[in-house]
Each structure stands twice: as C-alpha cells, then as structure tokens.
C-alpha cells in the first residue's frame, strides 16, 4: 500500500523536474544596443561603408554552462535609414537605391542553424532588403559570456540580387560596385 502512495508523488516530482529543466533550456533573448551592422562595398572612386547600431530582434537559444547548444530562432531587423556613411550625399543616394520611402527595414530571419564545430555555425535564412527576400547561407561565430550571446559573421551578395540598381553620383562618373558585404556583430541577452 505504501508503494502505491509513493509512486504518484514520485511521478509528480519527476515530471515537474523534467518540465522545469525543459523550460530553462530554451530562453528568449533580445538584441542588445551594442550590436553593429555594416555594409561595405566599392565604387569607381573609393571603397565605402555604412554602419548602423539600431538593430532590434529576438532569438530563442539554448545555452548551458556558458555554451550555446542550440538555436531555435533568430530575427534581426533594422531601420534602413539608420545606416550612415558619414557623408550626407552618399546616404541620400543609398536610401534612394534601397527604396526606403517604401521599404523601411532590412530584415534577417533564420530558417536553420547547424553547429559545424564549437563556436562555429552555418546559418540558413532569408534577408529582406528593399522589399526583396532572398535565401542566404553563411558561417557565423558565436560565443556566450556572462549571459550574452554574440554572433559575428558576414554575407557577400550583389545589390542586383535584391533588385537594387547600384547607385551612381556626379552625373554617372562615380559608380557603385554591385558586390557588397553585410557584416554583423549582434549581441543577444
């Protein structure tokens, strides 16, 4: 008789333990203000870059013992006009090319993440730029320190992949190259 009384209680305790462990393993994270997004490229005059630190986003990550174990989801978004080059004319041309009057944000949404080796992941997802969504696959370095998980990486693409005509200036004498690199250092806490 005592066994039948203990078994339901034991079962309840064991069930609660596993539920609490499962709930703690997946945590919601948000993008931290120190995150940086950058786009670099070339022109017939000089290399250029535009930087933003105005990213927002969410992630569901599994972290144990300060080690990233699994990535369930990541979405990062930024206001397109938060990208700045330090040159007003260049920014204006970039915003026109990005069609920021219609498409206010640049967005990345993760579809899957595969651990390659400790700290190195392969991300598959979708970039949406100037209203055009394209699949992307790229390597990412991840590290977790003091409860903050940081992702560093880059993705090379062409402006024309997103329906963007490379901007020109000075009556067409300065031409932007089609190849660009999206570089990111995004921290989640």
pLDDT reported for residue 136? 98
- Lowest-pLDDT range of 62-71, 100-109, 124-133, 164-173: 164-173
- Tell me the per-residue pLDDT of 40-99, one tens digit each, with 9 for 90 and over: 999 988 899 999 999 999 999 999 988 999 999 999 999 999 999 999 888 999 999 999
Mean pLDDT on 102-131: 97
- Tell me the per-residue pLDDT of 136-148, one tens digit each, with 9 for 90 and over: 999 999 999 999 9
3-state SS record for the chain: CHHHHHHHHHHHHHHHHHHHHHHHHEEEEEECCCCEEEEEEEECCCCEEEEECCEEEEEEEEEECCEEEEEEEEEEEEEHHHCECCCHHHHHHHHHHCCCCCCCEEEEEEEEEEEEECCEEEEEEEEEECCEEEEEEEEEEEEEECCEEEEEEEEEEEHHHHCCCCCEECCCCEEEEEEEEEEEEEEEC
pTM, entire model:
0.83
Greater model confidence, 53 or 5: 53
Residue 25 binned pLDDT confidence (cut-offs 50, 70, 90)? low
- Lowest-pLDDT range of 17-21, 28-32, 70-74, 175-179: 17-21
């Amino acid at each position: 008789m005592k066994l039948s009384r203990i078994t339901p209680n034991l079962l309840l305790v064991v069930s609660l333990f596993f539920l609490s462990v499962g709930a703690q393993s997946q945590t919601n994270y948000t993008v931290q203000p120190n995150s940086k997004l950058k786009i670099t490229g070339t022109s017939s005059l000089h290399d250029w870059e535009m930087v933003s630190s105005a990213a927002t986003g969410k992630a569901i990550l599994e972290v144990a013992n300060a080690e990233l174990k699994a990535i369930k989801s990541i979405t990062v978004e930024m206001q397109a006009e938060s990208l700045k080059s330090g040159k007003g004319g260049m920014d204006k041309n970039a915003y026109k090319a990005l069609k920021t009057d219609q498409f206010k944000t640049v967005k990345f949404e993760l579809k899957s993440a595969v651990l390659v080796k400790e700290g190195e992941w392969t991300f598959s997802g979708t970039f949406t730029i100037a209203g055009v969504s394209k699949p992307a696959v790229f390597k990412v370095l991840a590290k977790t320190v003091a409860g903050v998980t940081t992702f560093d990486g880059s993705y090379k693409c062409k402006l024309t992949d997103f329906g963007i005509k490379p901007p020109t200036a000075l009556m067409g004498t300065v031409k932007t190259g089609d190849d660009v690199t999206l570089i990111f250092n995004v921290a989640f806490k």
